Structure formats: C-alpha cells, structure tokens
Amino acid sequence: KAGVTQTPRYLIKTRGQQVTLSCSPISGHRSVSWYQQTPGQGLQFLFEYFSETQRNKGNFPGRFSGRQFSNSRSEMNVSTLELGDSALYLCASSLAVNLNTEAFFGQGTRLTVV
C-alpha cells in the first residue's frame, strides 16, 4: 500500500512568487491535513480537508490556501511568497475527520524562499 506522497520534495522560489504543493493521500483516506514546520515555530496546523471541503483552518494569512479534489488529492498554494514562508510543509492523511484516526505523514516539501 503506497504511503502519502508529496511533490515536489524540494523547491526554491523568490519573494513575491507563488507556489503550489501537492499531496496524494493513502488510497481510501479522505482527510488531508497540512502543516508547516519551521525552526522557530515548530509544527503548526495550516488546514484540513475532507471530501473536498475545508473543515478546519489554522492561524495563517489568506496567502495560504488549499483545495481537495474528488480523488482526495490535495494542493496547497502560497501566494506572494515571503522569506518567512521558508519551511518544511507536511501533509498527513487519515481515514476520516471526526473519528480522530491515525495520521500518516508524507516526507514533506522543503520550500526555500530567497
């Protein structure tokens, strides 16, 4: 059974650009959550999607957005990139959203903004 796949693994962008990251969950999983990890703030919740609907959103500016497709694959987008957006972006998939089921994490996308 394939795990959670995130693409790309590494990305370098310049300030002001926008970026799209992709997450393919484990087959059959319908919940995808996104997290940002930085040395200063640690791991922080960005948002969660279930059945193409955003169910929860963390305390991030509107430049951070996401969506989920009918096959449960999810993308997150960051517009007008800032240096502080440099981070490891992780996604996790779960079977469901309300049962607090085990989360399976991808390898992450390491974004560097220069």
Which residues here bind other proteins, judged by CB under 8 A? Answer: 31, 33, 35, 37, 42-45, 48, 55-56, 58, 88, 90, 92, 94, 97-98, 100-108, 110
- Residue 10 CB, nearest approach to other proteins (Å): 10
Kindly state the smallest distance separating residue 105's Cβ from other proteins, in Å.
Answer: 4
Helix (H), strand (E) at residue 48: strand 42-50
Distance CA 12, CA 49 (A): 26
Would you tell me how many other CB atoms lie within 10 Å of the CB of residue 3?
Answer: 13
State the nearest-atom distance from the C-beta of 56 to other proteins, in Å. 5
